Amino acid sequence: MKTIAVDLDDVLNNFTETLQQTPFLRDETYALSEEVFQDYLAKVRGGWTESGSLLSTEYSFFRYKIHRRCYERAQARPDGVSFMHWLRQNRWRIAICTYRDLRRAQDCTRKWLADNEIPFDYLFMTGHKIAFCKAWGIEHLIDDEAVNITLGERFGVRVYYPAEKRRPAPPANPVETLCAARAFQTFDEIKAWIQE
């Protein structure tokens, strides 16, 4: 059976658009002043991450709470849902691979997938999708992360990414192989590519 790995956020849904456009309002559950709330919200929307050795901080918990609301509200791409059903009908094994912290967000992620009628066989949290695919023998990955787009081919993983994501710059090291990832406008384009 053929296996494919598919990302969720900004691939099967509109996570970033939801994050940028949702009017988040401070309430007592945040336990933050309005000034800190607005500062943290601007940082989350800007993609800022903390450096340091702490696994959890006030900011990282705030970021998770905002992201969770976006996970729940993000709209599925209709062509993505249709593609996932096509995969199932054509007997593909589907591994959803996400950077989401599934220790916290597994329930809302599974609910979102069910609510949007997206079939899958496995749901994995992984920070290194190319390494994950290589270890599991998965030859195809649909993802929007620049590092995966750039390095997939080098490690034997064919990567497909939404065309609205700009192609990453060539590697600084000229010895590295340039990426052979393919950009798609609609998921229908991928059907032919994964059957080559």
What pLDDT, in 10s, does the model give residues 97-108? 999 999 999 999
> Do both 96 and 189 map to the same domain?
yes
> Do both 103 and 38 map to the same domain?
no
> Do both 127 and 159 map to the same domain?
yes
Number of domains observed in the structure of the chain: 2
122 bridge partner residues: 95
pLDDT in tens, 1-27: 899 999 999 999 999 999 999 999 998
Average pLDDT, the chain: 91
- Residue 69 corresponds to which tokens in the numbers above? 């609301």
Q: Residue 170 has what pLDDT?
A: 52
Q: Could you tell me how far CA 62 lies from the centroid of its own chain?
A: 20
Give the confidence band of 175 by pLDDT, cuts at 50, 70, 90. very low
Average pLDDT of the residues in 153-157: 93
93 bridge partner residues: 3
> Do both 156 and 183 map to the same domain?
yes
C-alpha dihedral (136, 122, 2, 134), degrees to nearest 10: -20
Distance CA 20, CA 152 (A): 29
Query: Between these two residues, 175 and 147, which has the higher pLDDT value?
Result: 147
The pTM for the full model equals 0.89
Domain that holds residue 151: 3-12+75-193
186: exposed, middle or buried (Cβ count in 10 Å: 0-12, 13-18, 19+): middle
Distance CA 100, CA 119 (A): 18
CB 157 within 8 A of CB 134: yes
> Do both 69 and 86 map to the same domain?
no
- Residue 136 corresponds to which tokens in the numbers above? 């599991």
Q: Residue 67 has what pLDDT?
A: 96
CB 21 within 8 A of CB 66: no
* % of residues, the chain, pLDDT over 70: 92
pLDDT at position 186 over 70: yes
> Do both 98 and 178 map to the same domain?
yes
